[in-house]
């Protein structure tokens, strides 16, 4: 069996430039050069830890799926599916719960952060067990490599620990995953100078109309440096321009001109993808693609679950 790559993304908000540069682009580059199977999924059950609106769940799930496809995901090469369409994941989740020590979950980053903030009593069991469900996502697909950011490395390590614990008890049944740390693109800053994040309300939506994109870029916080004075090349305008244009911007340019050039660079890359995204959002094609992907994902998942159930005797 050739090595399997797997990654997922939660549908918890509008896809923005930070998601594109930090997750979508490096994952698609990795998949493009991979000769084994690749799995990319919409992690809608994971989103339930925070998302409580069924209309938004449906909307965000569709937006995420269309975004991946518009950015170049090839559903013929990649097994592309919704997590909730593969029930075998949740059956494996139930089984591996029984070989997962509580102490491992107590050390998980999300729970530790809530505990340190004095919010332990408000943690729901979905959040507490989040790493186990993620482990089921990974283990059910026999994933060898899981591309993640450095801050998510622990999730893959937990999946490996759970897989090893299961194998120690029942034999060499589950593949043990390894993290692939995505190429560092730096922190993508938002409109207010903080990290671009939906929770901060400072994002630049990836597929917003041209006029809205220009408005967002004009809102980027800058300093009072005069047009002929050197600017800080670490400023997000220079960083984003280099990401999209592939070259450096003159750092003695005026901020107004810099914003116009940044708009041009981003729009040149995004425009054809935006057109495809809007077409997909209005069609039923994405549902068929996800449905077809779930059939392929379940074929692999059933095989894995069959081995696991036979090993435990159920």
Q: 134-152 pLDDT, tens per residue? A: 999 999 999 999 998 777 8
pLDDT of 38 reads 97
Given a contact cutoff of 8 angstroms between Cβ atoms, the answer to whether 196 and 202 are in contact is yes
Q: What is the average pLDDT across 221-236?
A: 90
127 vs 291: CA distance, rounded Å = 27
User: Exposed e or buried b for every residue in 204-225, given b needs 16+ CB within 10 A?
Assistant: bbbbbeeeebbebbeebebeee
Rg (Cα) of the chain, in Å, rounded?
Answer: 21
Helix axes 54-70, 255-281, angle to 10 degrees: 100
pLDDT in tens, 258-280: 999 999 999 999 999 999 999 99
Domain ranges for the chain, please list them: 5-185+284-312, 198-278
CA atoms within 13 A on the CB side of 308: 26
pLDDT in tens, 229-252: 999 888 999 999 999 999 999 989
Of 207 and 194, which is predicted with more confidence?
207
Q: pLDDT band at residue 1, thresholds of 50, 70 and 90?
A: very low
- List all residues 6 or more positions away from 58 whose beta carbon is below 8 Å from its beta carbon: none
Q: What is the average pLDDT across 49-65?
A: 95
**Other CB atoms within 10 A of residue 180 CB:** 18
Find the length of the chain. 314
Among 238, 105, 215, 120, smallest CA distance to 162 is for 105
pLDDT in tens, 82-128: 999 999 999 999 999 999 999 999 999 888 888 888 888 888 999 99
Q: pLDDT band at residue 185, thresholds of 50, 70 and 90?
A: low
pLDDT of 110 reads 84
Task: Name the percent of the chain lying above pLDDT 90.
Answer: 78
> Which two three-digit tokens encode residue 39?
């799995």
**H or E element in which residue 5 lies:** strand 5-9
CATH number attached to the domain at 5-185+284-312: 3.40.50.620
Q: What is the average pLDDT across 36-62?
A: 96
User: Exposed e or buried b for every residue in 133-167, given b needs 16+ CB within 10 A?
Assistant: bbbbbbbbbbbbbbbbeeebebbbebbbbbbebbb
| pTM tops 0.85, yes or no | yes
Distance set, CA 224 to CA 18, 126, 216, 238 (Å): 26, 47, 19, 16
pLDDT of 54 reads 96
Tell me: pLDDT of 183 over 80. Answer: no
Q: What is the average pLDDT across 176-200?
A: 79
Among 134, 12, 141, 6, smallest CA distance to 64 is for 12
Q: What is the average pLDDT across 25-48?
A: 94
Helices within the chain (DSSP H only): 17-19, 25-32, 44-47, 54-70, 88-97, 102-106, 109-116, 125-128, 130-140, 153-170, 210-218, 236-245, 255-281, 285-312
Given a contact cutoff of 8 angstroms between Cβ atoms, the answer to whether 239 and 187 are in contact is no
Tell me: pLDDT of 63 over 90. Answer: yes
Q: What is the average pLDDT across 54-79?
A: 97
| CATH entry 1.10.240.10 includes domain 198-278 | yes
> Which two three-digit tokens encode residue 135?
């482990």
Rounded to a whole number, what is the largest CA-CA distance in the chain? Answer: 74
Compute, in degrees rounded to 10, the torsion defined by CA atoms 3, 181, 75, 158.
Answer: 70
Task: Name the percent of the chain lying above pLDDT 70.
Answer: 98
Q: What are phi and psi of 43, to 5 degrees?
A: -85, 65
Q: pLDDT band at residue 184, thresholds of 50, 70 and 90?
A: low
Tell me: pLDDT of 290 over 90. Answer: yes
Tell me: pLDDT of 22 over 80. Answer: yes
Average pLDDT score, the chain: 93
């Amino acid at each position: 069996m050739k090595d399997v790559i797997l990654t997922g993304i939660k549908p918890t908000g509008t896809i923005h430039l930070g998601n594109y540069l930090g997750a979508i682009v490096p994952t698609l580059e990795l998949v493009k050069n991979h000769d084994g199977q690749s799995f990319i999924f919409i992690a809608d059950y994971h989103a339930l830890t925070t998302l409580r609106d069924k209309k938004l769940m449906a909307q965000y799930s569709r937006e995420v799926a269309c975004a991946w496809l518009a950015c170049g995901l090839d559903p013929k090469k990649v097994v592309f599916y919704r997590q909730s369409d593969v029930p075998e994941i949740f059956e494996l989740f139930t089984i591996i719960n029984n070989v997962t020590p509580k102490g491992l979950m107590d050390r998980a980053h999300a729970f530790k952060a809530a505990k340190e903030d004095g919010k332990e009593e408000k943690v729901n069991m979905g959040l507490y067990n989040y790493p186990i469900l993620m482990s089921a996502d990974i283990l059910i697909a026999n994933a060898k490599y899981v591309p993640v950011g450095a801050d998510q490395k622990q999730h893959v390590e937990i999946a490996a620990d759970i897989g090893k614990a299961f194998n120690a008890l029942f034999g060499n049944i589950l593949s043990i995953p390894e993290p692939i740390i995505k190429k560092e693109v730096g922190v993508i800053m938002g409109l207010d100078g903080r990290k671009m994040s939906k929770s901060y309300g400072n994002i630049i939506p990836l597929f917003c109309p041209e006029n809205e994109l220009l408005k967002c870029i004009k809102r980027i916080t800058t300093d009072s440096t005069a047009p002929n004075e050197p600017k800080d090349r670490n400023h997000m305008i220079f960083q984003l321009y280099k990401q999209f244009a592939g070259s450096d911007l003159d750092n003695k340019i005026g901020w107004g001109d810099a914003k116009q050039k940044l708009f041009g660079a981003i729009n040149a890359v995004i425009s054809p993808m935006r057109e495809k995204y809007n077409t997909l959002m209005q069609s039923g094609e994405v549902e068929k693609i996800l449905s077809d992907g779930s059939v392929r994902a379940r074929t692999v998942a059933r095989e894995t679950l069959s081995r696991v159930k036979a090993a435990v005797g159920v």
